[in-house]
């Protein structure tokens, strides 16, 4: 999945927590989100309108959350495991490891493998 396809997929599935998301979809969207938030921060700093950054952050939060939950589904974890992020330091490390793991081969309880039916380890 390419950069543009990942971004359009995340925004088209804005409120979709069901299904699975590949690593590329997750990481491309996180890169996009980071860049957009950085630009919003710079614009807010330059213009003095701090609400710009707040609005952009709120807009980017929901698709970031949904793609994170779908990514957890892809490795066979329930979406509620996202709450581990609230454990200081350790939660971030655990999530980082999980988000870099490869997809579970084949279908799982959350749906078919987004890499396709022919993917296997």
pLDDT in tens, 20-54: 999 999 999 999 999 999 999 999 999 888 898 99
Q: What is the mean pLDDT of residues 90-116?
A: 91
Domain boundaries, the chain: 3-100
What pLDDT digit, counting tens, does each position of 45-92 carry?
A: 998 888 989 999 999 999 999 999 999 999 999 999 999 999 999 999
Percentages helix, strand, coil for the chain, rounded to the nearest 5? Answer: 65, 0, 35
Quote the pTM value: 0.88
Is 7's pLDDT higher than 90?
yes
| More confidently predicted of 121 and 10 | 10
Q: Given a cut of 80, is residue 12 above it in pLDDT?
A: yes
List CB contacts of 23: < 8 A, sequence separation 6 or more: 71, 74, 99, 100, 101, 102, 103
């Amino acid at each position: 999945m390419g950069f543009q396809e990942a971004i359009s997929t995340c925004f088209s599935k804005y409120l979709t927590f069901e299904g699975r998301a590949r690593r590329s979809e997750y990481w491309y969207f996180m890169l996009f989100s980071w860049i957009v938030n950085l630009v919003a921060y710079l614009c807010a700093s330059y213009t003095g309108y701090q609400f710009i950054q707040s609005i952009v952050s709120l807009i980017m939060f929901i698709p970031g959350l949904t793609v994170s939950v779908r990514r957890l589904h892809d490795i066979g974890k329930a979406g509620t495991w996202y709450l581990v992020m609230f454990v200081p330091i350790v939660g971030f490390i655990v999530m980082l490891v999980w988000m870099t793991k490869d997809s579970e081969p084949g279908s799982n309880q959350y749906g078919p493998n987004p890499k396709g039916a022919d993917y296997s380890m």
